[in-house]
Amino acid sequence: MNDKQIDLLNLDTHELTGLVQSWNEPVYRVKQLQQWLYHELVDDFDAMSNLPHPLRARLKAATTIGDLKLIATQDSADALTRKALFQMRDGQTVETVLMRYLDAPGSPEDSTDPPNVARRTVCISTQVGCPVGCPFCETGQAGYIRNLTLGEVVAQVLYFAREQKRAGFEMPLTNIVIMGMGEPFMKFNVTWRAIQAFTDPARLGMGARRVTVSTSGYVDGIRQLIEKKSQVNLAVSLHAADDALRDQLVPVNRKYPLRELMNACREYVHATHRRITFEYALMDNVNDSAQQAEQVAQLLAGVLCHVNLIPLNPTSESPYRRSPYARVLEFQRVLNRHNIPTTLRVEKGIEIMAGCGQLRQQVKRHSANVNALPLAT
């Protein structure tokens, strides 16, 4: 790739049409191209057999299909979770995670081919680093560098879609969660254009309810999402039910305190009739007492919601530790007593450091000896 090449994944249908027309090609080429890119999932212009050779040559010279270069991967011991680290045109790196969930007892080894995997969820990033700066999060601690482009966001999904297609899945991915590095609502326009790329039938064509966008509580973005009248799922990282503690754990709370956040959440439920998922990472002796569970219950009373309890994925340098299991269960019992539905998130890939930003930091620390890591082939 070079700086003058256009990333085709950065273009929506209207923009791709403009490019095709500027080359004096018929407009039906747009449909053909999108079919190859998003349905056939090819990453090679030579495979686009119904495009004439001169057009393929021009595409090859002037455009790219995504701008990500895979530089490292890590797999969990059960082979169900895979993390990928990609490098972009400017040398910055970003992480993406594939999480696969079995639909029947057994391991991938004793499953059929393709394995008996019910859900294949890809968790994507929207920024290099994150300006929110949550102290328990490796990404937040590493600082913020820049927003990703639409093409860089979409390419993360296509990478794993291709991989799962090669593994034999007719529907390569079942879910997309925008929950990796970064605050997706800080650059709402890019996130919204990515959601359109995922749900537009001419492109990936996924059902909106299979797409989840997760925010740290960026109230302006929640309101913009309400205006879009979209059916995508909304998740909100709560982590504390009082402003003093949330100011520390999720610093965006200083800009949008809990009262404002909860008002926006109620507006969202009122406008969409959709349930919100509140994410709550349980940290040992920080936010995991029964009394704090009571505060969460009071805060969420009357809101159509679900609480996802996540024992913290500990990072190497953070003083925050995961809660003991007994306390996690007690926290859950308190919420359930208040009729607040909960799930205890199945931990995916803890040993490969599936928490966001951790592979990126590991590669940075080992940059002098990157071969010490399991590298992409």
| Active site residues per annotation | 95, 356
In whole angstroms, give the CA distance from residue 162 to residue 300: 40
**In the complex, minimum distance from the CB of residue 17 to ligand SF4, in angstroms, rounded to a whole number:** 35
Q: How far apart are CA 263 and CA 261, in angstroms?
A: 5
Stretch that binds ligand SF4, among 68-76, 127-135, 272-280, 346-354 (CB under 6 A): 127-135
Q: Report the residue closest to ligand SF4, judged by CB.
A: 140
Shortest spacing between CB 137 and ligand SF4, in angstroms: 3
Q: Which is nearer to ligand SF4, 30 or 296 (CB)?
A: 296
Identify the burial level of 104 via C-beta atoms within 10 angstroms of its C-beta, where 0-12 means exposed, 13-18 middle and 19 or more buried: exposed
C-alpha triplet 80, 160, 229: angle, nearest 5°: 105
Please, is 143 exposed, middle or buried when counting C-beta atoms within 10 Å of its C-beta (0-12, 13-18, 19+)? exposed
Nearest Cα neighbor of 328 from 285, 371, 295 is 285
- In the beta sheet, which residues pair with residue 310? 281
Q: Which two tokens stand for residue 15?
A: 């923009």
Q: Is 289 left (phi over 0), alpha (psi -120 to 50) or beta?
A: beta
Q: Which of residues 65-124 bind ligand SF4 (CB under 6 A)?
A: none
Using CB under 6 A as the binding rule, whether residue 315 contacts ligand SF4 is answered as no
Hey, is 181 helix, strand or coil?
Answer: coil
Interacting residue with ligand SF4 among 115, 140, 151, 311 (CB under 6 A): 140
Does residue number 313 form part of the binding site for ligand SF4 (CB under 6 A)? no
Per CB under 6 A, 262 contacts ligand SF4: no
Residue closer to ligand SF4 (CB basis): 128 or 211: 128
**Of the candidates 68, 181, 197, 261, which one interacts with ligand SF4 according to CB under 6 A?**
181
Query: Is 137 a binder of ligand SF4 (CB under 6 A)?
Result: yes
Per-residue CA distances from 264 to 41, 154, 227 (Å):
38, 28, 12
Q: Check binding of 177 to ligand SF4 (CB under 6 A).
A: no
For the bound state, the minimum distance from the C-beta of residue 360 to ligand SF4, rounded and expressed in Å, comes to 11
Q: How many helices, marked H, and strands, marked E, lie in the chain?
A: 12, 14
Tell me which stretch binds ligand SF4 (CB under 6 A): 64-72, 112-120, 129-137, 290-298: 129-137
User: By CB under 6 A, is residue 139 in contact with ligand SF4?
Assistant: yes
Residue type, 60: K
- 134 is a site residue for ligand SF4 (CB under 6 A): yes
Contact flag: residue 305 with ligand SF4 (CB under 6 A): no
Q: How far is the CB of 13 from ligand SF4 (least distance, A)?
A: 30
3-class DSSP assignment, residue 144: strand
**Three-state secondary-structure class, residue 220:** helix
Does 314 participate in binding ligand SF4 (rule CB under 6 A)? no
Residue closer to ligand SF4, measured from CB, 94 or 130: 130
155: closest CA among 212, 94, 213?
Answer: 94
- Residue among 7 and 279 whose Cβ is closer to ligand SF4: 279
Q: How far is CA 76 from CA 272, 348, 353, in A?
A: 37, 8, 9
| Angle between helix 258-272 and 219-228 (nearest 10) | 10
Instruction: Find the shortest distance in angstroms from Cβ 356 to ligand SF4.
Output: 5
- Based on the shown chain and the rule CB under 6 A, indicate whether residue 132 belongs to the binding site for ligand SF4: yes
In terms of CB distance, is 134 or 282 closer to ligand SF4?
A: 134
Interface with ligand SF4: number of residues (CB under 6 A): 12
* Cβ atoms within 10 Å, residue 301: 11
Find the binder of ligand SF4 among 121, 174, 191, 216 (CB under 6 A): 216
Q: Are 355 and 83 in contact (CB under 8 A)?
A: no
Three-class SS of residue 216? coil
- Nearest approach, Cβ of 97 to ligand SF4 (angstroms)? 13
Nearer CB in complex with ligand SF4: 161/179: 179
3-state secondary structure of 101: strand
Where do contacts with ligand SF4 occur on this chain (CB under 6 A)? 130, 132-134, 137, 139-140, 181-183, 216, 356
